[in-house]
Amino acid sequence: MKQDAPPVLGLITAAVLSSALHVDKALDAKLPCPANAALEQAIKVRLPQVKLGKGDLRARITATEGGFRLELQRADGSAAMSRDLYSGCAQLGDMSALIIERFLTPSPLVGEKAGVRGPVSEPRKEKPLDPVDAGMTEISQTVDAGSSDALELIARIGATPSPEPPAEEPPLTPTKGEAEPVINLPPPSPPQPIVTGIEVSLAGGLWYGDPRVMGAFSLDVGVMLRDRVRLAVLALANTPITRRIEDGAAVRGSVESFDLGAFAMLGVCTRTMLQLCGNAFGGARITWAAASTSPEQKARLFRTGTGVISVPELGLLARAQYLLLGRIILALELIGGLPLIRGEIAVEGFEPLRSPPFDLLGLLRVGVRL
């Protein structure tokens, strides 16, 4: 009869997966998405035997210059495993949990946990059973031959098996001259794509620069490069403004104007949950104006008309934004612009109306990241 080898690999697997693993979720405050929280949820699904809490191992995901890094540390602070990741933010949790699962689960080709030095487990050699006749002869020498009970017991059993010596535990370190086990880690992750997001958003707020406060509206279309660099096109518009043209106490007419701005932007953003972005922009500020008069007025303008002023403008834009559910954009913006030259709206016989020397805007923005 053949005796099965002890399940050494199963015992090692149970011991490894019963270790306590702590995921440092506090580091998510410095990431553009809660990757460590997603890692903890993925571990609960992939490795239900692993206890989550303070214990033997500590896992964490941090941001690097070109992507992210998964680190696994032992209780004494030494590094057990480190892997650079270049996937998008949404796949970090599942990918990291898969790497940890392959790291903690013993390989059937190696026979031990990755990272633990030790020899390959070998099945225990079986000891052949003694022949039936030899056993009866040995027992007959120690049992009274005249005892019928003993002879009946020998006939029913046939032989008395010799006790097996206890199996020796394999040493934790490889013996001299024995090759160390080779650990096959999963293949490296594919590089992070250059374009990591396309953003479209609308905003509303206040525009100061007439000098008076006006309503403001904005459209922003931009792309994110590696979740760090932002290229965008920004459009601004204000609510129409009406200015009266007076000749002493008499109102001769009015001038209505409307401002529109079109700018190209380049900025840099942080990889944190609350993303902070600084942008520089340049473009043109366009003012459309029209002079009008009313037949009901006793003193009217002799001639009316329309005109357009276009001046170059440079400025800075600061944005603090949060991604809700990883897709919905909620942002607060402050914009400061400086026209390089000033234009004038002239009505013959009256003081010209000059364009403002600067622009200040405060906007609340809502959008979506594709």
What's the pLDDT at 295? 59
Q: Taking residues 93-112, what's their average pLDDT?
A: 69
Q: Taking residues 66-77, what's their average pLDDT?
A: 82
Asked whether 5 and 123 are in contact (CB, 8 A), the reply is yes
Q: Does one domain contain both 275 and 348?
A: yes
Q: Does one domain contain both 221 and 355?
A: yes
Q: Does one domain contain both 89 and 227?
A: no
Banded pLDDT at 50 (limits 50, 70, 90):
confident
* Cross-sheet strand order for the sheet of 79-85: 51-52, 20-23, 57-63, 68-74, 79-85
Q: Does one domain contain both 105 and 217?
A: no
Taking the C-alpha atoms of residue 106 and residue 8, their distance in angstroms, rounded to an integer, is: 11
Cα dihedral 244→246→252→256 (10° resolution): -20
What total of structural domains would you count in the chain?
2
Q: Which domain holds residue 82?
A: 1-127+164-191
Pairing mode, strands 274-292 and 250-269:
antiparallel
Q: What is the mean pLDDT of the chain?
A: 75
Q: Does one domain contain both 337 and 290?
A: yes
What's the pLDDT at 183? 66
Q: Taking residues 117-137, what's their average pLDDT?
A: 48
pLDDT tops 90 at residue 217: yes
For residue 16, the number of C-alpha atoms closer than 13 Å in the C-beta half-sphere is 21
Q: Is residue 212 part of a domain?
A: yes
Asked whether 289 and 256 are in contact (CB, 8 A), the reply is yes
Taking the C-alpha atoms of residue 268 and residue 270, their distance in angstroms, rounded to an integer, is: 7
pLDDT tops 50 at residue 114: no
pLDDT tops 50 at residue 109: no
Q: Does one domain contain both 46 and 26?
A: yes
From its phi and psi, is residue 68 left (phi > 0), alpha (psi between -120 and 50) or beta? beta
Asked whether 319 and 331 are in contact (CB, 8 A), the reply is yes
Q: Does one domain contain both 346 and 306?
A: yes
Q: Does one domain contain both 60 and 199?
A: no
Is residue 179 exposed (0-12), middle (13-18) or buried (19+ Cβ within 10 Å)? exposed
pLDDT tops 90 at residue 277: yes
Q: Does one domain contain both 307 and 207?
A: yes
Q: Is residue 180 part of a domain?
A: yes
What's the pLDDT at 365? 96
Apex 131 CA angle, 127 and 133, nearest 5? 155
